[in-house]
Amino acid sequence: MEMRENTLEMIRRNMRQAKKSEFYKKHYAGIEPDDIKSENDFVKLPFTEKGDLRDAYPFGLSAVPRRDVVRIHSSSGTTGTPVIIPYTKKDVADWALMFKRCYETAGVTAEDCVHITPGYGLWTAGIGFQLGAELIGAMALPMGPGNTDRQIRMMVDMKSTVLTATSSYALLLAEEIERRGLRGKISLRKALIGSERWGDKMRKRIAGELGVELYDIYGLTEIYGPGIGISCERECGMHMWTDYLYYEIINSKTGKRLKPGESGELVITTLQKEGAPLMRYRTHDLTREMAGDCPCGSEYPRIDTLIGRSDDMVKVKGAIIYPSRVDETLAAVDGVSSEYQIMIDHLNGKDILTLYFETPEGDESARKHLEKTVETAFKAKIGLTPRAKAVGMRELPRSEKKSTRIFDNRY
Ligand code: ZN
> pLDDT tens digit string along 9-50?
999 999 999 999 999 999 999 999 999 999 999 999 999 999
- 295 Cα to the center of ligand 1, angstroms: 6
| Dist. CA 301 → ligand 1 center (Å) | 9
CA of 298 relative to ligand 1 center, distance in Å: 5
Which of the four pLDDT bands, split at 50, 70 and 90, describes residue 246? very high
Q: Do 279 and 153 reside in the same domain of the chain?
A: yes
Does 181 share its domain with 277?
yes
Q: Examine residue 68 and state whether it is found in any structural domain, yes or no.
A: no
Residues 297 and 154 in one domain: yes
Sort 344 into a burial class: Cβ within 10 Å, 0-12 / 13-18 / 19+. buried
Average per-residue pLDDT for the chain: 93
Cα of 325 vs centre of ligand 1, distance in Å, is 25
Residue 403: which pLDDT band, with cuts at 50, 70 and 90?
Answer: low
Same domain for 120 and 183? yes
Which residues, at least 6 apart from 250, have a Cβ–Cβ distance to it below 8 Å? 256, 257, 258, 264, 265, 267, 282
State pLDDT tens for residues 187-208: 999 999 986 767 778 888 999 9
Range of the domain at 188: 89-309
Task: Compute, in angstroms, the gap from residue 261 CA to the centroid of ligand 1.
Answer: 16
**Residue 231: inside a domain:** yes
pLDDT above 80 (res 313): no
- Cα–Cα nearest to 319, from 379, 376, 263, 372: 379
Q: Output the CA 300–ligand 1 centroid distance in Å.
A: 8
Q: Is residue 93 part of a domain?
A: yes
Residue 401: predicted pLDDT? 63
383 lies in the same domain as 281:
no
3-class SS at 113?
strand
Last residue in a domain, options 309, 328, 351: 309
Q: How far apart are CA 364 and CA 390, in angstroms?
A: 10
Neighbours of 311 (CB within 10 A): 12
Distance between Cα 128 and ligand 1 center (Å)? 22
Helix 89-105 / helix 125-136 crossing angle, nearest 10 deg? 70
Rounded CA-CA distance 54/45 in Å is: 20
CA of 294 relative to ligand 1 center, distance in Å: 5
Q: Are residues 158 and 304 in the same domain?
A: yes
Residue 356 included in any domain: yes
DSSP letter string, 252-286: TTT-PBPPTT-EEEEEEEESS-SSS--SSEEEEEE
- Measured in Å, residue 291 CA sits from the centre of ligand 1 at 12
CATH code at position 355: 3.30.300.30
256 and 357 co-located in one domain: no
Evaluate whether residue 29 is within a structural domain: no
- How far, in Å, from the CA of 186 to the mean position of ligand 1? 28
What distance in angstroms lies between residue 194's CA and the mean position of ligand 1's atoms? 18
The percentage of residues in the chain with a pLDDT greater than 70, rounded to a whole number, is 97
